[in-house]
Amino acid sequence: MNIGILALQGAFAEHGAMLDRLGTDHFEIRQTRDLERPFDALILPGGESTVMGKLLHDLGLFQPLLQRIKNGMPVFGTCAGLILLAREVEGGTPCFGVMDICVKRNAYGRQLGSFYTEAEFCGLGSVPMPFIRAPYIRSVGPKARALAETDGHIAAAQQDKMLVTAFHPELTDNPAIHRYFLECVKKAG
């Protein structure tokens, strides 16, 4: 199994370190020639979603990645990655727009509104959840399902082969959510 990690900005290196801990091959996607390498799944890291969307278009990565996602490639989006996948974005414009969720950008305020908590994640028990200028999922449509909540807000969701978290599991020592994603990739074949 080989995972492509979008490496335009944000916490891509931390996702790579977590995959290293789990013994999973990965590489960084920075330009279109990186897409020539075979990969089984994609990680869209945290960062700034507007900048990431602009860079995806400017570098010619948007259409090829959108096509792979639409064709069923498993994808895991954290924080800004969640925003990139959402069909509806309050306070912003959808990018890929493939996941049946409505997201509120910067829902917890500015950088000073960042916080850490632990909460139940569907089937995994309690997991650590660092939120950094985080969005939250206001609602999930009929195609998606909520996997975790904190303070009455949806913090994680899944739709088919797409997994999103409003928080940053790559910034913790707990590999449970990355392991969960890798299991989804294995099931996808």
Q: Which residues are catalytic?
A: 79, 168, 170
The dihedral built from the CA positions of residue 43, 48, 53 and 55, taken in this order, carries a sign that is negative
Check if the beta carbon of residue 135 is closer than 8 Å to that of residue 166.
yes
- What is the rounded CA–CA span in Å between residue 138 and residue 103? 5
